[in-house]
Amino acid sequence: MAPLRRDGNLSDREPAGFLSRSGFQLNEEEFELFRRLIHQQTGINLSDHKRELIVSRLAKRLRLLNLKTFRDYYDFLTQDPTGEAEMGRMINRITTNKTEFYRENHHFVFLRDELLPSLVQAKERAGQRKLRVWSAACSTGEEPYTIAITMTDFFAERRGWDLKILATDLDTEVLARAARGVYEPDRLGPVPRDVLARHFIPVPGPRPQAYRVRPDLQEMILFRRFNLQQPNFPFKSKLDFIFCRNVMIYFNQEDKIGLLERFHRVLRPEGCIFVGHSESLMMVRHLFRYVKNTIYQKI
């Protein structure tokens, strides 16, 4: 899940109880109810100027459910026995998923040139040939597929390795798109031509040509819905590295520290975590040491 991003066309402040272009009004009390509910469900901290965004994202759900007010919608989500399924739809609407292949490419250069060679050396000394990886906010799949491409190319001449990637998100709709693994040309711009030729298959149909990820990459990845706010991460094996980028900037300090403590518990000794370009782990220097720009290692 890549959470809410600020829209440039939104004003910093809206009047209390404004009436949006959708025709639905969200008063201060309702905004606070949804702000607490969204934080509880996702960990996202909504600032005061996000009220219009909530209305614009959720107004269609109110119309489809024939509800007249946001308080009616809140009560349906939290009190109606059938509201559980709608809670997932609400989360899908309120989260924004921004991603691309090879985003923050220095991470994949480090993975290829430094982390994977050191992991191979350490694992082979221990008589192991298994890597376990987590893409913890995978959105529409570009991140875990880029990890899979990087790993597949690195291990092309190293046979007998068991490579698995867990890719998770809160949004069930983007997970379905990720699992499908089909991308339009505008999403494939950052993919080098030789990589496109090796790891993607043209999809028959009208031009411009869409491409599907090859089955061997898809088989490496398990896509699942997962909430980073849950208190325990029930993984059977320790993880070798984690990608969790551009998520924690929307968490408060307490939630960030709690999440990083849980990441620390599921990482192998000296396992690495990759975070977003504006994120830092300096508040948990007792858990992680700085390696390179937005790359940290478990202490």
Catalytic site positions: 57, 169
The count of other CB atoms within 10 Å of the CB of residue 36 is 11
The count of other CB atoms within 10 Å of the CB of residue 91 is 20
Rg over CA atoms, the chain: 21
* DSSP structural state of residue 23: S
Q: Would you give the distance in Å from CA 212 to the centre of its chain? A: 21
Residue 274 · residue 143 · CB < 8 Å: no
DSSP run (H or E) holding 261: helix 253-266
Measured at the alpha carbon of residue 89, what is the angle toward residues 87 and 91, in degrees to the nearest 5?
A: 70
Percent helix, strand and coil across the chain, each to the nearest 5? 45, 15, 40
Task: Report the C-alpha gap between 68 and 87 in whole angstroms.
Answer: 18
Q: In this structure, what are the phi and psi dihedrals at residue 7, rounded to the nearest 5 degrees?
A: -85, 130
Task: Report the C-alpha gap between 50 and 48 in whole angstroms.
Answer: 6
DSSP-assigned letters across all residues of 178-204:
HHHTEE-GGGSTTS-HHHHHHHEEEPS
* Strands 200-202, 267-274: pairing kind: unpaired
Q: How many residues are there in the chain?
A: 299
Task: Report the C-alpha gap between 97 and 119 in whole angstroms.
Answer: 31
Query: Dmax over Cα atoms in the chain, in whole Å?
Result: 65
